[in-house]
Structure 1
Amino acid sequence: MRLYFSGWVAVCLLVTCTLVTPLNSIAHELRPAYLQIEQLDAQRFGITWRVPARGQLRLSLDVQMDRSASPLYPPSGGFNMGVYTERWQIHHPNALSGLSIAIKGLEHTLTDALVRISWLDGREQIQRLMPDRPGFTVKAQEAHSQIALTYFYFGLEHILLGIDHLLFVLVLMLLCGGWRQLLLTITAFTLAHSITLAGAALGHISLPQAPVEAVITLSIVFTASEILAKQRGKRSMAIRFPWLVAFGFGLLHGLGFAGAVTDIGFPQGAVPLALLTFNLGVELGQLVFITIMASLFWALRCTHWRVQQWRFRGRQSIKENWNRDKAAVWITAPLTYTIGGIAFCWCLENILSLFP
């Protein structure tokens, strides 16, 4: 039995080592690019273009505008904290009305680009460009429905592509003892990250992103260790009240969500709308993930139970000692070791990044 379990641990560690680097690369590749255009006077606009980067390499994405916009000086840029940033200014005779903007190379990536335009009269326009729609034409005024839809999809994509947040939700599911406890725990997590996200969006809370990311990965390691302790029969505070863990770490995860929109920000004329729809997108993504994982767990437990019935047929004494809870342990333990191993590697990487 111990040899079999040790084999599972070895397999999990091998999977962990195999997955850590690709997962980090995928998460990096899927970060959105960001184009900010701010009006400086009647016909002059400042441009800021941010592209995901790793070291001195960046995604091959460039901004293209039609000939009605003329650059006032060449772009200047540099690398900093995993982002390549360029800045320049343009002249446009009609305050950008009718200007065509496209992101060259976006169709060859897996990422999106968010475009935010601000005028001196308080108007703002938000556009989400995708590989199958890499360009658009600036309108004189944008409807609030476009802002709502843009931030809703941004929140949905952020949670579904945010592997660290999904892994934390997954370990919370494994820690909970039933649907009622899971509902309370996920509600506490949602409330907590909504509080800190709103505080950060409104400028009331601000923390450096690197330490926040380190603690987020540490929260996954801690919760995974509590799952293993629960399987050994221990009854800690986290095991008895997982909603407390979800709420406490959820406050930090909210700051992680805020980090995704710090550079992009929320439109000044529609902060409540953008914040609400971003949160709704995050919550929908969470519900989709929980539903998929719960269905998968149920299918695996049923399959495992059927396999054991087939193995132990005619051996009543053994079959009676095998139940669905034991089957769940053999599913949960390897998964927990794998998640904890991945999160631990991420935690070390984030901690080391604090010391250049």
Structure 2
Amino acid sequence: MRLFLITLLVFSSGLGSHSLFAHEVRPAFLQIEEQSPHHYAVLWKVPRTVDKVLDIQPQFEKSFTLSETLPPRILEAFVLYNYQLKGEKSIANTRLSIDQLNTTGTDVLVVVRLLNGEQHSFLLQPTRNSILIPETPSKWNVAKTYIILGIEHILLGFDHLLFVLALVLITKGFKKLLKTITAFTLAHSITLSFSVLGIANLPGPPVEAVIALSIVFLALEILKIQKGNSTLTSKKPWIVAFVFGLLHGFGFAGALQDIGLPQKEIPLALATFNIGVELGQILFVLVVLVLLRFIRSYVPRKNWTEKLAPYAIGTLAAFWLIDRIVGF
């Protein structure tokens, strides 16, 4: 258990250095909307931290001219740029690239809307920073894009991962764990869908604070279970997973709304984003289970080392909780 706990503590101390790392890293967003033949309005949304903006820029073919129309607007996590793009021909079948993207760890979601009503969505990544804009839109491109975004969202959403880790440590038995993870999945899928479709919503900052509080609660539950106390969480962890999963779904929705959705493919994008989140979550749970099995088989267990995991989880979550409340 010691190796696992040391890894967790290092992980926690690194993430605790700044509140930004409590959340997933959001991709950049490029929207290109045709307003008249060969004339386009371009919205370029670039991620930022407190003191740094990513030095990346869209690049078009030489037959196009890009000019700024409004001063940059600085938001909490992004900087917004507005441009006008003029060309001698349609942007379809031309190459788009993102300069310097290969030097970052950030993706770029691109949405292209044409006058004829067609809409394209695709994802550019550091390993693939250019694309030939297709003439005909593809549903597969939308599905692939949002599956990847969903996987990245959960694997880089450290607070959600910490909650799932606590559930794995609490739940005894594979069947009970499967039921618990399924309840969490169902709950956050419901509220994610409701929020994106405008059926129900909650303000982001309080939701993020309660997500951190949910992790603190699970850390305390782990300590109670280690002392031999029987709690609702230990008996029926799927109930707790479902209740808090509803709140986590609103957290997922906030990130998805920041990313953006293709207006003509909202159901497909929403469904495939959910699939991506679940694939990432399953991958994480499998890795944790394999690691725990290895540790329990080959590393001697001691009472004080058992307590390090919930204390590390609870301390980091408490830091996030205070930081998010202060940020209201």
TM-score, reference length from structure 2: 0.90
Structure 2 residue aligned with 1:42: 37
TM-superposed CA distance for 1:74, in Å, is 4.5
The 1:127/1:12 distance shift into structure 2, 3 A limit, reads closer
Pick one of 182, 207, 226 that aligns with 1:231. Answer: 226
Pick one of 269, 273, 295 that aligns with 2:290. Answer: 295
Structure 2 residue aligned with 1:243: 238
TM-superposed CA distance for 1:122, in Å, is 2.8
Instruction: Give the length in aligned residue pairs.
Output: 326
Structure 1 residue aligned with 2:311: 337
Bigger Rg, structure 1 or 2: 1
Contiguous gaps of at least 5 residues in structure 1: 1-10, 308-326
Amino acid paired to 1:181? K
Report which stretch shifted further, 176-185 or 204-213: 204-213
Report which stretch shifted further, 207-216 or 277-286: 207-216
Query: Is residue 353 from structure 1 mapped to residue 327 from structure 2 by the alignment?
Result: yes
Query: Is residue 286 from structure 1 mapped to residue 281 from structure 2 by the alignment?
Result: yes
Matches of 1:34 and 1:251, distance apart in 2 = 27
For the residue of structure 1 that corresponds to 2:259, the secondary structure is: coil
The 1:14/1:301 distance shift into structure 2, 3 A limit, reads closer
Contiguous gaps of at least 5 residues in structure 2: 1-5
Q: Is the contact between residue 56 and residue 100 of structure 2 (CA under 8 Å) also seen in structure 1?
A: yes
Q: Is the contact between residue 29 and residue 110 of structure 1 (CA under 8 Å) also seen in structure 2?
A: no
Matches of 1:185 and 1:300, distance apart in 2 = 23
TM-superposed CA distance for 1:99, in Å, is 3.0
TM-superposed CA distance for 1:15, in Å, is 4.8
Matches of 1:110 and 1:47, distance apart in 2 = 23
For the residue of structure 2 that corresponds to 1:341, the secondary structure is: helix
Matches of 1:65 and 1:204, distance apart in 2 = 39
Structure 1 residue aligned with 2:170: 175
Q: Provide Cα deviations, 1:119-140, integer angstroms capped at 9, x if missing partner.
A: 2433211121111111112121
Matches of 1:154 and 1:14, distance apart in 2 = 28
Matches of 1:258 and 1:295, distance apart in 2 = 30
The 1:223/1:339 distance shift into structure 2, 3 A limit, reads same
Q: Is the contact between residue 15 and residue 338 of structure 1 (CA under 8 Å) also seen in structure 2?
A: no
Report which stretch shifted further, 79-88 or 230-239: 230-239
Structure 1 residue aligned with 2:252: 257
Q: Provide Cα deviations, 1:46-103, integer angstroms capped at 9, x if missing partner.
A: 1111111122421111122122222354452121112111112222343322332211
For the residue of structure 1 that corresponds to 2:63, the secondary structure is: coil
TM-superposed CA distance for 1:247, in Å, is 0.6
Matches of 1:188 and 1:212, distance apart in 2 = 19
The 1:22/1:109 distance shift into structure 2, 3 A limit, reads farther
Q: Is the contact between residue 16 and residue 338 of structure 1 (CA under 8 Å) also seen in structure 2?
A: no
Which one scores higher on RCO, CA 8 angstroms, separation ≥ 6? 2
TM-score, reference length from structure 1: 0.84
Query: Is residue 32 from structure 1 mapped to residue 6 from structure 2 by the alignment?
Result: no
Matches of 2:8 and 2:29, distance apart in 1 = 37
Matches of 1:177 and 1:100, distance apart in 2 = 53
For the residue of structure 2 that corresponds to 1:57, the secondary structure is: coil
Structure 1 residue aligned with 2:97: 102
Structure 2 residue aligned with 1:89: 84
Q: Is the contact between residue 34 and residue 115 of structure 2 (CA under 8 Å) also seen in structure 1?
A: yes
For the residue of structure 2 that corresponds to 1:263, the secondary structure is: helix
Structure 2 residue aligned with 1:310: none
Q: Provide Cα deviations, 1:323-350, integer angstroms capped at 9, x if missing partner.
A: xxxx486554211111111111111111
TM-superposed CA distance for 1:178, in Å, is 1.6
The 1:269/1:222 distance shift into structure 2, 3 A limit, reads same
Matches of 1:198 and 1:158, distance apart in 2 = 16
Q: Percent identity?
A: 41
